[in-house]
Amino acid sequence: MNAKKNTSHSARETAVLVICAVIQHGKSLTDALSLSENLEPREKAFCRELCYGTLRWHSRLDAILHLLLKKPFKAKDLDITVLALIGLYQIIYLSTPDHAAVSETVSQCKRGKKSWANGVLNGVLRNFLRNRESLEKTVDEQLNQRFSHPDWLVKEISKSWGQQTKKILAANNQYPPMSIRVNQKIVTRDHYLQQLSDNAIHATKTPFNTVGLTLEKPVNVDQLPDFWQGASSVQDGAAQLAAELLDIKGGQRILDVCAAPGGKAAHILEQAAGTVSLLALDIDEKRNQRVLENLQRLKLNAEVMTVDALEADEWFDEKPFQRILLDAPCSATGVIRRHPDIKILRQPSDIPALIELQSKLLKTIWPLLDKKGVLLYATCSILSAENSQQISTFLAEHPDAKEIKINAEWGHTCEHGQQILPGDNNMDGFYYACLTKI
């Protein structure tokens, strides 16, 4: 199967291409889904369901497939392996009738150039249907397979969260809600809630802030009232907490490090009382384009620079900042429910490298903070080594740094900072720690 965009591709055929791009070439699912752009809307939606679902349950499906095959398919036949996984996903997790899931998967194979696999796929899927209960029972004896996470990640989560591990793994496999942030410079949350209702979009107020709404069902942003006029933005409830924690005052100079795609920077500007100046930094020019587009749509002003934050000599103008948001690069283990490909792409060796980068960023950015200023350290990780332990090490090495305790109704209080676990109050996994310079 070639990876050329083609309107004649079916949802299943395209899903195979997308999943192979993730597994074989290490592409993010978000990027790989560009292959589905030319599909008809219904086919496109089905393709997304197959991709997200098959990757969400990849480890479990793969373990089942392993039991069904005398020997695994060769590496060059990854497309056949993926087709088998898609077939199993439909049988187990979707309401596709068994016979349809089998026949459609096999006929997809027939349309390709590997007709030798027709009989194998047919046999594998029918064998699963005959022995489903015992196969699933065997696979589910192992925790990592039952919850479809790599074993190393289960161990890391267990190290940080012990008895809450199963709850976290289960939450990672849930469909995430669509949450939005209302731009209070344009409209109140109550008024926008009414506008949504008038458009037959049901939503509830997100707890712990005054601007968030969680939709009952996801919709295309084009359906959100006045979205393109800046009335609202898509943002998870956990990420909406950052702006308030920074406690912005008029006249302050603010630095947002690793700012792309710009949601938190925009929220800071939306809620700032009085004039503030904000500098948003990101190392990725393409992602910075998203920051500029978001600011433009929301009619907000900030200086956006594509630089390496670690090279402060290159961009810092010697004027200290009263507020700094460091949204540090991390394992993203708190947002697996939104990005199931993390379970495949993230490797154990990534964690020490990320911890080192976070530490370097903290040490580089700290001198740029004004006395009595506030630095908010944030990650979308749930691993304590990237969060509470990172802050503990930093405080031990910086006598001029003091933690401001976060007194919140949300999250779990850690030795340092506050941790939201995936699914807590319908939010993503997120960590915050507040520091001030004494």
CB 437 within 8 A of CB 370: yes
Q: List the Cα angle 76/78/79 in 5-degree steps.
A: 115
Token output for 141: 């004896």
Nearest to 361 by CA among 391, 335, 389, 405: 391
What is the distance between the alpha carbons of residues 245 and 239, in angstroms, rounded to a whole number?
11
Q: Yes or no: say if 85 and 92 are a contact pair by the CB < 8 Å rule.
A: no
Least Cα distance to 181 among 294, 313, 288 occurs for: 294
Is 262 one of the annotated binding-site residues? yes
252: burial class by Cβ within 10 Å (0-12, 13-18, 19+)?
buried
Phi-psi label, residue 226: left if phi above 0, alpha if psi -120 to 50, beta otherwise: left
Could you tell me the CA-to-CA distances from 299 to 97, 232, 267, 290, 346 in Å, in that order?
49, 12, 12, 14, 36
Neighbours of 69 (CB within 10 A): 14
The residue ranges of DSSP E strands in 145-221, in sequence order, are 178-182, 203-205, 212-215
Query: For residue 5, what are its two tokens?
Result: 């965009």
User: Is 264 assigned a ligand-binding role in the annotation?
Assistant: yes
Report whether 261 belongs to an annotated binding site: yes
The annotation status of 320 as a binding-site residue, yes or no, is no
Whether residue 414 is annotated as binding a ligand: the answer is no
CA 204/CA 379 separation, integer angstroms: 26
| 167 marked among binding-site residues | no
Distance CA 316, CA 144 (A): 46
Q: How far, in Å, CA of 158 to CA of 144, rounded? A: 11
Q: Is 256 annotated as ligand-binding?
A: no
Beta strands in 310-423 (DSSP E): 321-327, 369-379, 401-404, 412-413, 418-420
380 part of the active site? yes
**DSSP-assigned letter for residue 387:** T
Find out whether 395 and 428 touch, Cβ atoms under 8 Å.
no
Distance between CA atoms of 48 and 146, rounded to whole angstroms? 23
| Nearest by Cα to 355 from 335, 384, 321, 316 | 384
**Beta partners for 369?**
321
Q: Choose the catalytic residue: 330, 380, 414, 434.
A: 380
Q: What is the CA radius of gyration of the chain?
A: 24
Query: Which residue positions form the known binding site for S-adenosyl-L-methionine?
Result: 258-264, 282, 308, 327
Binding positions are 258-264, 282, 308, 327
Q: Which residues participate in catalysis according to the annotation?
A: 380
